[in-house]
Homo-oligomer: A and B are copies of this chain.
Amino acid sequence: MAVQSVESSTTSSTSGAFGPAVALSCRECGERFELGPIFACEACFGPLEVAYELPAGDPEGLRRQIEAGPNSIWRYAPLLPVPADVAELPSLNPGFTQLVKADNLARELGVTGELHIKDDSGNPTHSFKDRVVAIAVQAARTFGFTTLSCSSTGNLAGAVGAAAARAGFRSCVFIPHDLEAGKVVMAAVYGGELVGIEGTYDDVNRFCSELIGDPAGEGWGFVNVNLRPYYGEGSKTLAYEICEQLGWRLPDQIVVPIASGSQLTKIDKGLKELIAIGLVEDRPYKIFGAQAEGCSPVSAAFKAGHDVVRPQKPRTIAKSLAIGNPADGPYVLDIARRTGGAVEDVNDEQIVDAIKLLARTEGIFAETAGGVTVGVTKKLIEDGLLDPSLTTVVLNTGDGLKTLDAVAPTTGPSAIIRPTLDSFREAGLA
């Protein structure tokens, strides 16, 4: 299945369906393959990623084209593995979420440069997962899959269910059977099949891999398995949007949460692409990774100076980041070290404090993953690892409404009073 040159893949039957993408390329050995529903290198079992022939030579024209595009990730269609007319196809149209200039938070953290929150809770199902799923859906359409699937601990299940409903796919998603009731409702309400698996998330994952190899899984696109190379590209749009919203300028520092590590690697890929095309000036940037102490395999490896990541058994309130054996961990270590960044972690109490800090200063109610990035930013500044005089962007990848339990025990009314002015005055609130 390996191809000798870029040309052979662009003349395939799916020509145009993947826009500027020309092949899948092994991240480990560089072997190239035709664009297809595959995710591991036949030669070395390394992960595959999308390779492009990106538009070059007219950055000004491209910039104008992007700025005139839709208010969604599809404005970046010329840089994604999607057809040029992708915005006309049914999709949740995620992305182009707010980049919030966080002056109040900056003051509290002693940041004298610009501090921004990239707030991805504004996506259709209120997490960054809508970005990655949107690209996977488009690939599923091209490959002729009729069922969309995934293994999930909740957020991804909802994103897949919603995207499938809009785009006209059947969906069948798999979750551990003992998820919180709220997450089950969110995953089931879109009307697809939702299957609870008696086992852990790892059991769910293993089962999905089995299903892909079985006739029962024929015609199924698993967004985070056999469509993973396309899915992952959705995270590049975070990098594109941040730079465009900064006025086509690289941030000096970015703080990114780490679950599998994929998002961080794709943000780096996106920034490098913008530099290569000439859409932003080529100058250094630092990427910082953020983990929860209760699931900090990458942070531990970074601090120990290791190149390999030793798996951990997760135990943290930041459940959307609770991947104990992150597939892209080693790549994250590379990027943090190459760019001069770092990987840090915060404990559950610091996560809750950071959620409240962000809410109190900027009116943004983040899910626990946002508490992790804001908490880590605070810690990095205190430790002198993040320069408070530069331009920094911190990611919030999800919505506090999905992780209410994290703050509920310590968040309530200031007072309960009778409906009288006397009672109000007694409470000392006037």
On A, residues with C-beta under 8 Å from B are: 71, 90, 92-93, 96, 98, 103-104, 119, 122, 124-126, 158, 161-166, 168, 172, 175, 177, 181-182, 184-186, 188-191, 193-199, 203-204, 206-207, 210-211, 214, 216, 355-356, 359-365, 399-402, 404, 407-408, 411-421, 424-425, 427, 429-430
Contact = CB atoms under 8 A, between A and B. Distances in A.
Given A165-B363, A216-B425, A360-B165, A188 B413 contact: yes
A401 B195 contact: no
Contacts of A430: 216
Given A172-B429, A182-B408, 18 more contacts: A104-B166, A119-B124, A122-B124, A124-B364, A126-B401, A163-B363, A165-B362, A166-B362, A166-B363, A181-B408, A185-B412, A189-B365, A190-B360, A190-B365, A193-B429, A195-B416, A196-B413, A199-B418
A412 B184 contact: yes
A207 B420 contact: yes
Contacts of A203: 419
Contact of A401 (B166, B186, B408): B186
A424 to B, nearest CB: 6
B401 A399 contact: yes
A417 B184 CA distance: 15
B104 A421 contact: no
Nearest to A101: B90
Contacts of A126: 126, 399, 401
Contacts of A119: 124
Contacts of A184: 411-413
Contacts of A196: 413, 415-417
B360 A191 contact: yes
Contacts of A424: 195, 207, 211, 216
